Amino acid sequence: MTTPAVLIGVDIVAADRLARAAARGGATFTRHLTTVAERDLGPGTATFSVKESFIKAVGGRPPGFTWHDFEATPEPPPAWTGELLDEAAAELTAATGLALTGGAAYTLRGACRDAARLRLAGPVAGAARWGSGDGLLVSLAVVYVDRKDARCP
């Protein structure tokens, strides 16, 4: 099977920078960045970095963007997506020395979903991996055509 077209984004950020932002913003920062449904599923303190990697994958923050355009979900991504993430994560690990051990599937909504659909021509979904160490958070996101959901909401 040939791997379909995907959009890929990477983010590397200083962990202390995010910790300071989270401390300043508290619960408001968390509500602004995450949906209720994903707070127990997502990457926790790496959420900002993961969502930044999705923003890069879809080509930036389109008009109408919100942080809730990306939501972690409990379902696993398709197997081929996991294999693609494994390969890309291994390259990031080699480059940064940090293992990307966290992961989740993501639903794309709103302006970011629409931006991704323009580039991939179909219903879209996402998946991410992340890791931290040595004062850094590293995240990797892929956006792909979601063949299981041909409804294209």
pLDDT of residue 148: 66
What residues pair up with 143 in beta bridges, in sequence order? Answer: 7, 126
pLDDT above 70: percentage of residues in the chain: 93
For 49-67, the pLDDT digits (tens) are: 999 999 999 999 999 999 9
Alpha helices in 6-78 (DSSP H): 15-33, 47-58
pLDDT surpasses 70 at 73: yes
Closest alpha carbon to 107 in 133, 57, 69, 150? 69
Claim: this prediction has a pTM higher than 0.75: yes
Which fold does the domain 6-145 belong to in CATH? Ribosomal Protein L22; Chain A (3.90.470)
Residue 49 half-sphere exposure toward CB, CA atoms < 13 A? 26
Max Cα-Cα span within the chain? 48
